[in-house]
A and B are shown apart, each in its own frame.
Chain A
Amino acid sequence: MRFFWFLVAISAGILISAFLGWVRTPQKITNTSLSALRSDYFADYVLMAAETYKSNNDIALATYQLAYLGSEKPLYHVQRAIIYAEELGYPLEDMESLALLASAFQPINTPTVTQ
């Protein structure tokens, strides 16, 4: 019987700490990462990478910069950013920068010769 109540007490402790840790989250959020950016800020981050790429054509740098957004492939981030940018009505110049970066990450399809 004593062991039963001991387990109940442990469960209560776990429940309390789970509530404090997961449900009652802090009012002031800090220490978040770039991968958690809101869509408009995300798109702007990718746009910064695109602007940089446009001027220096450094694909390695762009890859490094986009790696901060998550473990997905860089092209995925750029494509997401283009979708957001379209929704937000980015000007043509910015859309072109994003498209240029996307094309840089596109796999090169070599034409297959059929006989």
Chain B
Amino acid sequence: MNSKYREERHRPPYYLLTGLLLGLLIGFAVTFILLPVQYSNVPPETLQSVDKDQYRLMIAYAFKSDHDIGRANARLGLLREENLSEVVLNQAQRSERRSDAQILLNLSEALKETPSTVATMLPPTPQTIIQSPTITKEPTKNSITETIIPTIQTIRTATEGPTESVSTKTPFPSPTTINSSTIPFRLSSQKIVCNPNYLAPYIQIEVFDKSNNPMANIRVLVSWDGGQDIFYTGYFPEISSGYADFEIEPSIAYSIRIGEIGEVVDQIIAPECKDDSGNTYWGTVYLDFSEP
């Protein structure tokens, strides 16, 4: 009797493990299947593939209507894909409706004819800019003809996005006047931005000239252990023409250089922030550079 009693007492509490597993199963079923997290305020790059297809199709339809390849390029750039022409062509090939396929094909062909710098969503290099004097003039939609696309469209890509109006209201400083390779940009200020609405941690950069005016088309080199990327200011005119941002991984330290000979700011790491409920999330680093 005693020995049997001892055996029962030493038996591991498997029922607790079973209960925990059952709870996990119920919980995961609810949180991932029945009531998954609903995101809002998302950018197009996060769309599911079906919706990305629809987004591309919309761009193709709009392009068919306005024949504005710069605008189509800027819109496609929001999906952050490479080889835009091929992506659109692939979609045309798997399109169910013949009319959609033709519209997408037209866009793909138009994209092929534009310079590769546009297709990869990169603004032109300073050399390219200097070679095209016509870009000092803010182009209007109606003034674009096929012959001037290679020079004007490259700039419109940087200025034109979903909120094209901003670029119309506040024209960017002419890229011909900017030669960022000879400007030793310096860090003016650095601050941590805790905004729970941001979907991911970012490095936000804003570049100003001597008169404190934002500077567009300034090259930004971001590097980290095992990689680097180059981008340019001016993609988000609705924020500022001197603004650019870069999504970062929380556990990686990054370094930034503005222009060719600007000050290098290193050890940039996503800060940890807390919301009102005490939950932690990754914040953003804001860097303000200026021409000395």
Contacts and interface: CB of A to CB of B under 8 A. Distances in A.
Contacts of B36: 21
Contact of A91 (B17, B21, B62, B165): B165
Interface of B: 13, 15-28, 30-32, 36-44, 46-48, 51, 54-55, 58-59, 61-62, 64-66, 75, 78, 141, 161-166, 168-169, 199-200, 238, 249-250, 279, 282
Contact of B65 (A18, A20, A38, A56): A56
Contacts of A29: 39, 42, 46, 199-200
Contact of B58 (A21, A49, A56): A49
Given A6-B18, A13-B20, A22-B37, A34 B51 contact: yes
Main secondary structure of the interface of A (DSSP, over half): helix
A103 interface: no
Contact of A33 (B48, B65, B161): B48
A48 B283 CA distance: 33
A61 to B, nearest CB: 8
Interface residues of A, number: 55
A11 B249 CA distance: 33
B48 A45 contact: no
A68 interface: yes
A43 interface: yes
Contact of A32 (B20, B25, B26, B48): B48
A56 B61 CA distance: 10
A40 B162 contact: yes
Given A21-B32, A27-B250, A93-B141, A7 B19 contact: yes
B27 A15 contact: yes
A8 B23 CA distance: 9
Nearest to B52: A34
A10 to B, nearest CB: 4
Given A14-B23, A32-B48, A89 B166 contact: yes
Given A51-B62, A55-B64, A89-B169, A34 B28 contact: no
B42 A38 contact: yes
Contact of B41 (A5, A36, A61, A65): A36
B15 A2 contact: yes
Contact of B19 (A8, A54, A90): A8
Interface in A25-63: 25, 27-34, 36-41, 43-45, 47-49, 51-52, 54-56, 61
B38 to A, nearest CB: 7
Contacts of B161: 44
Contacts of A93: 141
Contacts of A32: 39, 42, 46-48, 51
